Chains A and B, each alone.
Chain A
């Protein structure tokens, strides 16, 4: 079974600074997808960034980028120029590449990010 581990229950960062959230996963699959989701106090799940395992290039979305190390099964999220609105719970998630019921997501336990003004 696939597992997703986020070893940092809480992190804090100063506004405008950079922070990196860690995520490791375990799978026997060779092709899969990895995600970072943000859950603000409203509790609405928001997709931050997505990475396909077959792509070597790290995904980037504006101030958000990932460091995907497939061999190490590591998928960290870097937030640059942190803003107060980035404060939220961040979940790392995994899913297999094939569709159907394999489309389900496995989530890590989350990292609560605090942004200090």
Chain B
């Protein structure tokens, strides 16, 4: 099956620094990628949708200047948490859609801890 690689799997950073999370589709071209955020024991909340070569579409309430999403190629999307603060600590998950196929493939997630 298709594989989505997400790195890093966990990261600890100091408050005020920026962190980049990568999401790669290893054996397919991902026309659309989605970024989710999950707080402990809670559901996945969609943050943004990114299509290759165009600007990401952010969900209501998500600060686009804080959560920078880049989808520069058909196999790579990145989420950069800028000027991270402790309240940004969360589990971030990406998912990717292969072309026009119906299935979505999820990355293994990134646990971000901001000190």
Contact = CB atoms under 8 A, between A and B. Distances in A.
A42 interface: yes
Contacts of B32: 100, 103
B108 A42 contact: yes
A56 B45 CA distance: 29
Interface in A18-67: 33, 42-47, 50
* Max chain A Cβ within 10 angstroms of own Cβ: one of B43, B45, B91: B43
Nearest to B6: A44
A109 B43 contact: yes
Interface string A86-116: 0000010000000111011111111010000
Interface of B: 32, 34, 41-46, 49, 57, 91, 93, 95, 97, 100, 102-104, 106, 108-109
Contacts of A103: 32, 34, 49, 97, 104
Given A45-B93, A110-B43, A101 B57 contact: yes
Contact of B108 (A44, A50, A106, A107): A44
